[in-house]
Amino acid sequence: MMLYLNKTIQMKKQLSLITFALLTVLITENTSAQNDTAMFKKIYNEVMSRSTSYANLDYLSNKIGGRLSGSPQAQKAVDWAYKAMKEAGADTVYLQECMVPHWVRGEKEVGQAMSPNTKEVKNLSICALGGSIGTPDVGVNAKIVEVKSYDELAKLGKKNIEGKIVFFNQPMDPTIYQTMHAYGKAVAFRWGGAAEAAKYGAVAVVVRSCTHALDDNPHTGVMGYKDDVVKIPACAVSTLGAEWLSKSLKGDNDMKFHLKMNCQMFPDEKSYNVIGEIKGTGKANEYIVVGGHLDAWDNGDGAHDDGAGIVQSIEVIRAYKTLGLKPKRTIRAVAFMNEENGGRGGDKYAEMAKKNKENHIAAIESDAGGFSPRGFSSEMNMQQKTKLKSWAPLFLPYGVYDFSQTGGGSDIDPLNEELGTPLIGLVPDGQRYFDYHHTAIDKFESVNKRELELGAAAMSALIWMLSEYGL
């Protein structure tokens, strides 16, 4: 009987200890959640009340403007970003050298459709694709043939294409809700159309702009050649121009196209990534990167693509320093150079991180416009994804809810490839992004101040969680 009583007392003690331990965990978790909620409010209130991101974007867009790598404007942007990170309060700011392509558009392009039957000449809104060769001084004059896929191109074959201009008319799919995915399908013709058409003897290509919008704004973007295929000029035509051209070709197989472009490729230029750091207080040798790309196409101001990501990243530093926050891990804001037509800045950063044996626990990129944030995409293992998604309730009061998408960002992808770094991308509402993407209307006035700041606040809050808890 006594033995039974002793065992019973012992079991009650053990249960009491287990209950106490569980209560301690619950209280700790509850306290931690309350602290995190309070920190979110603190960060959001600071960014939404006193952010300098909109003023910074004003300067970057309106005082510097288009800043394609290798250009004088790109160097001005480097100088500005260095100063802006200093003013934001970064502990350390430095430049990371990288060699970048130097392509120049030259004088405004000319694209004209000419009907031998009616003698009508129609001026179309076009722009050279980045990296394209120019035309001869007299331009290129040839019959134009429409295709909507590489299969159609192959079926027409050399006998129907040789000596002609190929018109790739593949619209972005409106049934794909995630506009980035729709863009990913359509952009294949912009990138590889010239090389494919040249195989069949084409003398130039005209590519439908990658956007859902029906307007007269042509969208530029990088294209590529193949070493074993002759290089031919490549341009984009506005969607309204593409619609007109397609309709006109149905009734006029003899239509000709006149293309005049003055673009040139020059030797590589020296440029820089700009890096600003806040030193971690507990795990300083673990790094969290937040960034965007400093370069932008020359035809607009690059306000959405990617001035927004740059100023949001700098705002993380300013907000933390203003609030006196001391992150456990070291935070690096990086203004990457040359995302648009080479990716050299992202490659160089990953190369140096690997060489220096740095431990990057996460990298975040904002490169989808300055619209209202809806969530974060990610490229990481399942355990890390689960942890990231566990923080979702903290973001719900601020309209950030979607943690389901995959992906990181072009500039941070090399970190994952070289070091296995978990990647995160800010996901704004993307339905209007491709109205502006790579166009002359990607200007400061197209960015809403409050939406821009909401993105900066969401990134700042997520970085706090990453610094405190890791992945």
Model pLDDT for residues 173-206, shown as the tens digit of each residue: 999 999 999 999 999 999 999 999 999 999 999 9
- Cβ atoms of 311 and 447 within 8 Å: the answer is no
Q: What span, in angstroms and rounded, lies between the C-alpha atoms of 252 and 259?
A: 19
Residue 279 DSSP class: -
Number of domains composing the chain: 2
Domain's final residue, options 262, 289, 313: 262
Give 151's contacts (C-beta < 8 A, 6+ positions apart): none
- Cβ atoms of 147 and 168 within 8 Å: the answer is yes
Q: Starting at the earlier edge strand, list the strands of the sheet with 126-128.
A: 121-124, 110-114, 256-260, 140-147, 165-168, 204-208, 234-237, 126-128
Q: What span, in angstroms and rounded, lies between the C-alpha atoms of 427 and 423?
A: 13
Q: Which amino acid is at 270?
A: K
Per-10-residue mean pLDDT, the chain, length 471: 47 48 47 90 98 98 98 98 98 98 97 87 97 97 97 97 98 94 94 98 98 98 96 98 96 92 97 98 97 98 98 98 98 98 98 98 98 98 97 98 96 98 98 97 98 98 98 95
Q: What span, in angstroms and rounded, lies between the C-alpha atoms of 463 and 280?
A: 12
- The per-residue pLDDT for 451 is 98
Q: What span, in angstroms and rounded, lies between the C-alpha atoms of 191 and 185?
A: 11
Bridge partner residues of 95 (DSSP): 274
Domain's final residue, options 235, 262, 289: 262
Catalytic residue among 339, 340, 358, 365: 339
Instruction: Tell me, yes or no, if 339 is annotated catalytic.
Output: yes
Same domain (yes/no): 153, 86: no
- The per-residue pLDDT for 117 is 78
- What is the torsional sign of CA 338, 340, 346, 351? negative
Same domain (yes/no): 319, 280: yes
Q: How do strand 140-147 and strand 329-336 relate by DSSP bridges? A: unpaired
Residue 396 DSSP class: G
Helix or strand run (H / E) with residue 30: helix 2-50
- Cβ atoms of 178 and 405 within 8 Å: the answer is yes
Same domain (yes/no): 338, 447: yes
Domain's final residue, options 205, 240, 262: 262
Indicate which CATH number applies to the domain containing 79.
3.40.630.10
Does residue 1 form part of some domain?
no
Q: What span, in angstroms and rounded, lies between the C-alpha atoms of 126 and 353?
A: 41
Same domain (yes/no): 274, 257: no
Q: Which amino acid is at 139?
A: G
Indicate which CATH number applies to the domain containing 256.
3.50.30.30
Q: Can you give the residue range of the structural domain that contains 441?
A: 43-102+266-469
Model pLDDT for residues 413-454, shown as the tens digit of each residue: 999 999 999 999 999 999 999 999 999 999 999 999 999 999
Q: What span, in angstroms and rounded, lies between the C-alpha atoms of 407 and 385?
A: 12
- The per-residue pLDDT for 120 is 86
Question: What count of other Cβ atoms lies within 10 Å of the Cβ of residue 100?
Answer: 24
Structure tokens at 129: 């694709």
Q: How do strand 121-124 and strand 110-114 relate by DSSP bridges? A: antiparallel
- By residue count, the chain amounts to 471
Q: What span, in angstroms and rounded, lies between the C-alpha atoms of 369 and 435?
A: 11
